Chain A
Amino acid sequence: MWRDALLIAGKDLRIELRSKVAFNQILPFAFIVLIVFAFALDTSPDTLQKVAPGLFWLAVLISSILGVDRAIAIETHDNASDGLLVYGVDPGGIFLGKVVSVFVQLFLLEIVLIIAMVVLYGPKIGGWPLVVISAVFATLGISAAGVLYSQLASSSKAKQTLLPLLLVPVASPVLLAATKSWQDAFAGSGWLGDPWLRLLIVFAVVYLALGTVFYNSILEG
C-alpha cells in the first residue's frame, strides 16, 4: 500500500508540475479571495488584523475544493480512473497518494498565502511552532476529507456543486480550530498543547483512517 501511495503521489505531483493547474489557477484564485475579503469587510487595520487567520483558512478551504476536485478529475479523463483499478493498485494507496499530492500543493499554496496575508492584513505573527504544526495538521485533515468526498461525488454530473456541499460542513471544525490556534499563536498564548491543535490532529488522523479503509468500497462501487 505504501509503495502504491508513493507511486500515485509521485505521478500526481508530476502531472501538476507539467500542467501547473494549481499554480496557474488555484493560487491566483486564493490570492484574489484574500483581496476580495478585505473589500467585503470594514477595512480598519484593527479588524483586518483580527480576522486575518480566519480569512486565511477560509481561503485555503475554498482553494482545497478546487484542488481535490482536480485530484480526482485527473483520473477520470479518458476513463483513467478505471485505469488505476485495472492495474490493481491498492485503493488505500491511491487514497494516501492523492492526499499527499493535495497536501503538498496546498501547503505550498499556504506558504505563499501567508506572505500575502501578512502584507494585506498586517497581523503580528508569532508562535511559529504552533503556526506551522497546526497548519500541517489542518492541511492534512482538509486534504484527507477532501479527497474522500471528491471521490465519493465523482461520478455525478452535479459534482462541482455537490462537492462543496459535502466538504465544507465536514471541514468546518478544521476551519474553526485552525483559525483559533493561529489566533492563539499570534497572541503569544500558543503552546503545543493547545486544545485546538489536538482537535486538528484528531480530525486528520480520523479522516486519514476513514479514507484508507473505505476508499476501496468507493472505487469498487
Chain B
Amino acid sequence: MQDLVSFKNVVVVSGNFPILTGIDFEAGPGEVVSVKGRNGAGKTSFLRAVAGLLRITRGSASVLGVDLVSNPADARHRVGLLGHDSFLYEDLTARENVSFVLRATRSDTARVESSLAAVGLTGRLSDLKVAVMSAGQRKKVALAALLAREPELWLLDEPHASLDSWTRDVLDSALIAAVANGSTVLVVSHEPHHGALVPTRTVEIGGGKVINDVRASGSADAALTTKLGTGNVA
C-alpha cells in the first residue's frame, strides 16, 4: 500500500520557533485519521505541513508522491485543507469565491452550483459578499469549494466547529464517499466523535511530534478505537 503521506522526522521552524519537532507519520489511501492533542501541540501546524504550506526545515516529507522539501507546490492543488482560515476574499460573493478556487486548482467549474446547493447556500445566499457572512456561513463557502474539488487528501481542522448539524452531516457523507473512493482524511477535532465518519486510527500530537498512534482493530471502515472498549461510538 503506497503511502499517501510520509513524514520522517519532520522539523518545521517558523520565526525561530520550532512548531514541529520531529514528526514521524505515514498514512495510506482510505485511512481516516483522527488527530488529537493539547492546544499548542502542533496539530494545526501538522495539517498545514501536510498541505505543503510550511517549509520543512529538517527531515523528509512526501505527500501524494510529491517531495515537500523540494517541491511543495506540486502537491498543493491536490490537497484540500479546511481550517480556521477560510482563504476567502471579502469583497467577492460565495459563488465567485468558489469558482475562483475551482479555476485556481484546475478543477471542474461546472460543480459550483451543485456544491453551493449541497451546503445550503442557494439563491440569495450564494450572491452574498463574504464580508457580510457569519463565521458559519464562511465555513460553508470554504466547504463548498472543498466538496467541489474532491481532493485526494482531505485535511480538516476542527471541521465541525461553527457548522450547523445539517451541514456536518453533509460533510460527513461527502467524506465517507471520498474515503470509499480511496481518498485519505486527516481530522483534527477536540470533540468526541459524533458523526457517521469513524476514524480508523487516532494520532496524538504533543510538543510538535507524534506521541501516540493507535490503530483501530478490524477493518478500516467499520472499527472503533479499541482502547475505549466502551461501545461508545458517539
Contact = CB atoms under 8 A, between A and B. Distances in A.
Interface of A: 4, 7, 11, 14-15, 18-19, 74, 77-80, 82-89, 91, 216, 220-221
A154 B144 CA distance: 30
A88 B89 contact: no
Given A7-B103, A88-B78, A91-B73, 10 more contacts: A11-B100, A14-B96, A77-B90, A82-B85, A85-B53, A86-B76, A86-B87, A87-B76, A87-B104, A88-B74
Contact of B55 (A7, A91, A216, A221): A221
Interface residues of B, number: 27
Contacts of A11: 89, 92, 100
A175 B79 CA distance: 45
B38 to A, nearest CB: 23
Query: Ordered nearest first, which 10 A-B pairs have the shortest CB separation?
Result: A83-B87, A88-B77, A79-B85, A87-B104, A88-B76, A18-B91, A19-B91, A15-B91, A87-B105, A89-B104
A221 B81 CA distance: 20
A118 B79 CA distance: 54
B212 interface: no
Interface string B78-106: 11010001111111100010001101110
Interface of B: 51, 53, 55, 72-79, 81, 85-92, 96, 100-101, 103-105, 129
A78 B104 contact: no
Contacts of A220: 55, 72
Which of A77, A87, A216 neighbours the largest number of chain B CB atoms within 10 Å of its CB?
A87
Contacts of B72: 220
Given A85-B76, A88-B104, A221-B55, A14 B87 contact: no
Contacts of B91: 14-15, 18-19
B51 A86 contact: yes
Contact of A18 (B74, B86, B129): B129
B103 A78 contact: no
Contacts of B81: 86
Contacts of A89: 104
Contacts of A80: 85, 87-89
A82 B89 contact: no
Given A14-B92, A15-B91, A88 B103 contact: no
Nearest to A83: B87
Contacts of B75: 88
A15 B92 contact: yes
Contacts of B79: 86
B147 to A, nearest CB: 15
A74 to B, nearest CB: 7
B87 A82 contact: yes
Nearest to B75: A88
B230 to A, nearest CB: 38
A83 B101 CA distance: 9
Contacts of B85: 78-80, 82-83
A217 B103 CA distance: 23
B92 A18 contact: yes
A216 to B, nearest CB: 8
Contacts of B87: 78-80, 82-83, 86
Nearest to B72: A220
Nearest to A216: B73
Contacts of B74: 88
A183 B54 CA distance: 50
A4 B101 CA distance: 12
